[in-house]
Amino acid sequence: MIYSAKDNSAPAVADVLLDSGSGEGAVPVRLVRPGDPRMAALDSAAQAWLGALRFTPSARKQALLPGPDGRIAGVLLGMGNGHAGDPSGPSALLAGLLPQTLPAATYAFDPETLDLRLALLAWGLGAYRFQRYKSAGNDPMAKVVVPESVDRAALVNEIEAVWLGRDLINTPASDLGPADLETAARELAARHGAQCTSIVGDDLLAKNFPMIHAVGRASSRAPRLIEITWGRASAPSLTLVGKGITFDTGGLDIKPSSGMLLMKKDMGGAATALTLGHMIMGQKLDLNLRVLIPAAENSISGDAFRPSDVLKSRDGRTVEIGNTDAEGRLVLADALALADEAAPETVLVFATLTGAARVALGADLPAFFTDDEAFAAHVASAGESVGDPVWRMPLWPGYERHLDSEVADMNNVFDGPFAGAITAALFLRRYVKQARRFGHFDLYGWRPAARPLGPKGGEPQTARAVFEVLKRECGR
């Protein structure tokens, strides 16, 4: 791992997903459904044992089969008859429960397992632990063998990317400010032979990023615009823009204490962009990739920007500040204006942007905005297939009026209680005029409770769904 290398107790993904040469003596694991003939084929002792346990292959039910020597001879995990239900997606994703519950040993899925790659992916995602601040080391972990039929390198890359995103989101702001986020980006770029640059502090004003500067100037930790570039110049161009607010007090429109408790995750959009970038570069998709991360702390001091201030944005338009707690769209606007100057084929925005999206869809289902019907369908289908769901919401032009200002070209918020997520998405889209395809993901970036695909904590939602679409578009 890149970032969690600072955590001496953290396992590496490659230590959890073993190569095929490690399969000797591995405990077999079967994912079973009602009526599965492999259940009837078990020997009489195993049948009697399962009868004593009253085991049925309903979803999430597990049973360990004992061998004659008292060791574990096999594992059964019930799949039920349909989808995993939580998270949304194929029932093979329930395999993510196994590394959380099985004794430390080496395991191997039955070769007849349906959706074998997805089960292995779920195992890797479910094995994640954030132990950076634990004084005791990790307990030994259950490991799984990846057979030769599965591309282990690609699988490890995808899981490692998600672990990176989780590490970044889970790290508190005391250890993850704008400069630390830049360090993580530079480490990622160096690993993949990409270029990484940044514009820091007052240089943002000199190079015309006034809103990023305004949002971050009250903090003792300088704001910055981080940029990664990678890939063949003539390949299809893709720009990822991730909101990198490393902590959000709300500014002078200060949040209540309860509202600040999870604000270390307000850089979840940046973590998601880096997660997706790691996947793209690691699996060498033929794309001309650009990642832009406007990074800042929204703090309070005598130099903080104020409600009713008017800020000039990179493209020259002015923005009246209706609320300083709607700062994410301000830093994103400057980054999007820069992205649009190159007229890329696709611009995708990832941001923990609005509470309104959470009210509408909850923590598990990110809101997705686009005008591209085909792209919307592809993202929804891909998200469902890999257990990384999204839900499309409308960029309804009737709400453009919510951004009207009496003193500036626009306001950064609507003073009414309705359609906050749509209004924010419309604000962002105003800064993207030349790109052929635009998508905005308003995500929570956090798993409120442990689930099959991971523990409670940070989650770079939508990265796996979008990567699945990009793989298909690149012929992979």
Which residues are known catalytic residues? 255, 329
Could you give the 3-state DSSP secondary structure of residue 310? strand
Which candidate, 445, 105, 47, places its Cα nearest to that of 266? 445
Q: Is 363 helix (H, G, I), strand (E, B) or coil?
A: coil
Residue 162, number of CB atoms within 10 A of its CB: 28
Length of the chain: 476
Phi, psi of 195 (to 5 degrees): -95, 140
Nearest-angstrom CA–CA distance, 265 and 422 = 21
- On whether the CB atoms of residues 144 and 113 are closer than 8 A, the answer is no
Q: What CA–CA distances, in Å, run from 418 to 34, 402, 408? A: 46, 10, 22
Question: What is the Cα–Cα distance from 451 to 208, expressed in whole angstroms?
Answer: 44
Our measurement of the distance from residue 447's CA atom to the centroid of its chain's CA atoms, rounded to an integer in Å, reads: 11
- The amino acid sitting at 351 is A
Q: Which residue, among 293, 331, 329, 274, has the nearest Cα to 466 in the 3D structure?
A: 274
DSSP calls for 375-391 = HHHHHHHHHHHHT---E
Q: Identify whether the C-beta of residue 346 lies closer than 8 Å to the C-beta of residue 238.
A: yes
Amino acid at 159: I
Residue with tokens 């209004």: 423
**Residue carrying the six token digits 């611009």:** 347
DSSP helix/strand/coil, 472: helix
Please compute, for residue 312, the number of CA atoms within 13 A of its CA located in the half-sphere on the CB side.
6
The type of residue at 284 is K
Among 216, 221, 163, 171, CA closest to 188 = 163
Q: Helix, strand or coil for residue 328? A: helix
Residue 206's SS3 state is helix
Radius of gyration for the alpha carbons in the chain, expressed in angstroms and rounded: 23
Phi and psi dihedrals of 386, rounded to 5? -115, 10
Q: What is the 3-state secondary structure (H, E, C) of 157-184?
A: HHHHHHHHHHHHHHCCCCCCCHHHHHHH
Tokens of 150: 């599965």
